[in-house]
């Protein structure tokens, strides 16, 4: 199959920033792209060959979009899986597969998948309704504290809450959820695995997530993680086993906990390019976005090694600001060594909305970390 400068059509479900960054690479290779997104303001709209506005969760919309392309991929998990299954039955190639997405979309099913495949994860209980959790606490079947997670439609700290007392459950969605044992972890790590259609598989170096102490949002993604080689090897092995168990094609980001005694437990996975891989654009031989394309098109996988140490800082909307976005002091951070901003193209800011990221590259990781802090404290995402 000739993908380059040809009639081949790649479809992407979702037109957010991940899609936009994927399109940097389809442009580089001159691959024709179709994008479907709910919003006319989607960041990907400016970079694809054909943009379709429509509901990603509607069967007919996804099915009719998929019929126009040769290979279909995603940049967001919350899409109509029944439509993907129907497209597969009609010989449209869909990566990741509808089967993989079905397992991953529901966090309870995802956790059961790990148990069934002997993949290490934190102990948990599954509940059909929130009210069952209260009953379980009252009758001693569940101990506080624990982590509540909605089974469906959670992302970036939404749909996740630490429950320390009974009234922490107030205001949470009433539907299916899990209660997960709270792990006193040493580090949150992630490994991105690439696996192509032929089954060739590679992992990127382990990254470490440094969190904001209050906001429960990732402040820095640090590559390579500041961990010893044994832990890094263990994390990569768990990630490889996970991708093979899912029979996954494309990128799989495996988020993990490193426990106090250096065990590795899977937190959750994302079957697509991921926030924990953005630094690969500047710091790696092959960016995660190029790698995703190589994998789903069954091309040889690129080199996953880093050229240089990399740290990624998320740019999120400042509290108290809603409206037309203004990136205050962006020139000042561009004056710093090894700094590259990526602005996603969302015209409206609101508190904690992901608006962009900044990569800092440096031979010396501790120096990169210092510059990252300066970036974090200098740039402000505010409204006009």
State the burial class of residue 243 (Cβ atoms within 10 Å of its Cβ: 0-12, 13-18, 19+). buried
pLDDT tens digits for range 30-89 = 999 999 999 999 999 999 999 999 999 999 999 999 999 999 999 999 999 999 999 999
| CA 365-357-216 angle, 5° bins | 85
Predicted local distance difference test score (pLDDT) of residue 215: 64
> Is there a single domain that holds both residue 208 and residue 135?
no
| 75 annotated binding-site participant | no
- The DSSP 8-state label assigned to residue 214 in this structure reads T
H-state helical runs in 187-313: 229-246, 280-283, 288-296
Predicted local distance difference test score (pLDDT) of residue 156: 61
| 107 annotated binding-site participant | yes
Predicted local distance difference test score (pLDDT) of residue 1: 85
CATH (domain of 129): 3.30.1490.20
> Is there a single domain that holds both residue 144 and residue 216?
no
Q: What is the value of pTM for the model shown? A: 0.95
CA-CA distance, 210 to 312, in Å (whole number)?
10
| 99 annotated binding-site participant | no
Q: Is residue 110 part of a domain?
A: no
**Per-residue burial over 291-319, b = 16 or more CB atoms within 10 Å of its CB, e = otherwise:** bbbbbbbbbebbebebebbbbbbbbbbbe
Residue with tokens 């969302």: 346
> Is there a single domain that holds both residue 207 and residue 300?
yes
Among 93, 12, 3, residue whose Cα is nearest residue 272: 12
Predicted local distance difference test score (pLDDT) of residue 240: 98
> Is there a single domain that holds both residue 177 and residue 195?
no
pLDDT tens digits for range 143-162 = 999 999 999 877 666 789 99
Alpha-carbon Rg of the chain, whole angstroms?
21
Average pLDDT over residues 220-224: 97
| 267 annotated binding-site participant | yes
As a whole-number percent, the residues of the chain with pLDDT over 70 amount to 98
Among 1, 83, 3, 2, residue whose Cα is nearest residue 36: 83
| 188 annotated binding-site participant | yes
Predicted local distance difference test score (pLDDT) of residue 2: 94
> Is there a single domain that holds both residue 158 and residue 90?
no
Q: Is residue 214 part of a domain?
A: yes
**Boundary (domain end) residue, out of 94, 113, 134:** 94
Cα–Cα distances (Å) from 200 to 75, 192, 195, in that order, read 22, 14, 6
pLDDT tens digits for range 341-354 = 999 999 999 998 99
> Is there a single domain that holds both residue 146 and residue 158?
yes
| 77 annotated binding-site participant | no
Q: Is residue 102 part of a domain?
A: no
Kindly report the average pLDDT of the chain as a whole number. 95
> Is there a single domain that holds both residue 214 and residue 260?
yes
Neighbours of 73 (CB within 10 A): 27
Confidence of residue 331 (pLDDT cuts 50, 70, 90): very high
Q: Which domain holds residue 240?
A: 185-383
CATH (domain of 366): 3.30.470.20
Q: Is residue 18 part of a domain?
A: yes
CA-CA distance, 156 to 152, in Å (whole number)?
13
> Is there a single domain that holds both residue 309 and residue 250?
yes
Q: Taking the C-alpha atoms of 12, 16, 18 and 24 in order, what is their torsion angle to the nearest 10 degrees?
A: 80
Average pLDDT over residues 299-328: 97
pLDDT tens digits for range 274-306 = 999 999 999 999 999 999 999 999 999 999 999
Cα–Cα distances (Å) from 29 to 2, 4, 5, 292, in that order, read 11, 6, 8, 13
CATH (domain of 79): 3.40.50.20
Q: Is the peptide bond before 27 cis (omega within 30 degrees of 0)?
A: no
> Is there a single domain that holds both residue 237 and residue 370?
yes
Q: Is residue 257 part of a domain?
A: yes
CA-CA distance, 380 to 328, in Å (whole number)?
5
Among 284, 283, 285, residue whose Cα is nearest residue 310: 283
| 139 annotated binding-site participant | no
CB-based contacts of 191, cutoff 8 Å, min separation 6: 203, 204, 206, 207, 235, 236, 238, 239, 253, 254, 256
Q: Is residue 314 part of a domain?
A: yes
> Is there a single domain that holds both residue 172 and residue 44?
no
Q: Is residue 59 part of a domain?
A: yes
> Do residues 137 and 150 touch, judged by C-beta distance below 8 A?
no
pLDDT tens digits for range 165-211 = 989 999 899 999 999 999 999 999 999 999 999 999 999 999 999 98
How many domains, in total, are found in the chain?
3
Termini Cα distance of the chain: 49
Confidence of residue 216 (pLDDT cuts 50, 70, 90): low
CA-CA distance, 101 to 96, in Å (whole number)?
7
Predicted local distance difference test score (pLDDT) of residue 272: 97
> Is there a single domain that holds both residue 158 and residue 255?
no
Give me the DSSP letters along 81-149.
HHHHHHHHHTT-EESS-HHHHHHHHSHHHHHHHHHHTT--B--EEEESSHHHHHHHHHTTSS-SSEEEE
> Is there a single domain that holds both residue 48 and residue 152?
no
Q: Is residue 76 part of a domain?
A: yes
């Amino acid at each position: 199959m000739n993908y380059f400068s040809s009639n081949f059509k790649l479809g992407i479900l979702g037109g957010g920033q991940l899609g936009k960054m994927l399109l940097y690479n389809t442009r580089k290779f001159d691959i024709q792209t179709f994008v479907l997104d709910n919003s006319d303001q989607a960041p990907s709209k400016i970079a694809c060959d054909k943009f379709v506005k429509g509901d990603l969760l509607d069967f007919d919309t996804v099915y009719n979009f998929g019929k126009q392309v040769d290979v279909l991929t995603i940049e967001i998990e919350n899409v109509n899986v029944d439509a993907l299954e129907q497209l597969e039955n009609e010989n449209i190639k869909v990566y990741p597969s509808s089967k993989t997405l079905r397992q991953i979309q529901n966090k309870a099913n995802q956790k059961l998948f790990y148990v069934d495949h002997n993949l290490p994860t934190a102990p948990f209980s599954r509940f059909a309704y929130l009210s069952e959790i209260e009953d379980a606490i009252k009758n001693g079947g569940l101990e506080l504290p624990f982590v509540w997670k909605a089974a469906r439609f959670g992302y970036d700290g939404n749909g996740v809450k630490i429950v320390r007392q009974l009234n922490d459950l107030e205001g949470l969605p009433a539907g299916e959820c899990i209660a997960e044992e709270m792990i006193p972890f040493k580090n949150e790590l992630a490994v991105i695995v690439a696996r192509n259609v032929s089954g060739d598989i590679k992992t990127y170096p382990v990254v470490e997530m440094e969190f904001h102490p209050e906001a429960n949002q990732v402040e820095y993604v640090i590559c390579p993680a500041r961990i010893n080689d044994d832990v890094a090897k263990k994390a990569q092995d768990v990630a490889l086993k996970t991708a093979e168990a899912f029979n996954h094609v494309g990128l799989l980001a495996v988020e993990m906990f490193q426990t106090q005694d250096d065990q590795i437990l899977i937190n959750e996975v994302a079957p697509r390019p991921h926030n924990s891989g953005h630094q690969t654009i500047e710091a790696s031989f092959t960016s995660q976005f190029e790698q995703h394309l190589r994998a789903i098109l069954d091309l040889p996988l690129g080199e996953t090694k880093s050229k240089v140490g990399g740290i990624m800082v998320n740019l999120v909307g400042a509290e108290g600001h809603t409206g037309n976005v203004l990136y205050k002091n962006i020139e000042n951070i561009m004056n710093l060594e090894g700094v590259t901003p990526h602005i996603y193209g969302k015209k409206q800011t609101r508190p904690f909305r992901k608006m962009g990221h900044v990569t800092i590259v440096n031979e010396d990781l501790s120096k990169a970390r210092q510059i990252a802090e300066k970036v974090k404290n200098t740039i402000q995402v505010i409204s006009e």
